[in-house]
Amino acid sequence: MGGRTPKQFLLLGGAPILERTIAAFHSLRAVREIVLVVPADCVSRAAAIVRRAGFRKVAHIVPGGKDRQASVFNGLEKCSFRSGIVLVHDAVRPFVRRDTILSVIHAAGRYGAALAGVPVKDTITIESPGGSGFSSRTLRREELWAVQTPQGFHFALLQEAHMKARADRFHGTDDASLVERKGTRVKIVHGSETNIKITNPDDRKLAEFLLGEGRTLQWRPKAAPPRAR
CATH code of the domain containing 139: 3.90.550.10
Strands of 64-139, DSSP E: 85-88, 113-119, 125-127, 135-138
Buried/exposed code over 19-41 (b: 16+ C-beta within 10 A; e: otherwise): bbbbbbbbeeeebeebbbbbeee
What does the pLDDT read at residue 221? 57
In a domain, 148, yes or no: yes
Give 184's contacts (C-beta < 8 A, 6+ positions apart): 112, 113, 157, 161
In a domain, 37, yes or no: yes
In a domain, 112, yes or no: yes
What does the pLDDT read at residue 67? 96
Residue range of the domain that includes 75: 8-213
In a domain, 218, yes or no: no
What does the pLDDT read at residue 130? 78
In a domain, 224, yes or no: no
In a domain, 223, yes or no: no
DSSP 8-state code for residue 97: -
Q: Which SS3 state, helix, strand or coil, does residue 63 take?
A: strand
In a domain, 23, yes or no: yes
Q: Which SS3 state, helix, strand or coil, does residue 124 take?
A: coil
User: pTM for the full model?
Assistant: 0.89
Count structural domains, the chain: 1
Q: Which residues of the chain, if any, have pLDDT below 70?
A: 1-3, 214-229
In a domain, 219, yes or no: no
**Element housing 38 (H / E):** strand 34-38
What does the pLDDT read at residue 144? 95
What does the pLDDT read at residue 1? 56
- Long-range own/partner contacts, residues 158-161 (CB < 8 A, 24 or more apart): 158/76, 158/86, 158/88, 158/113, 159/76, 159/82
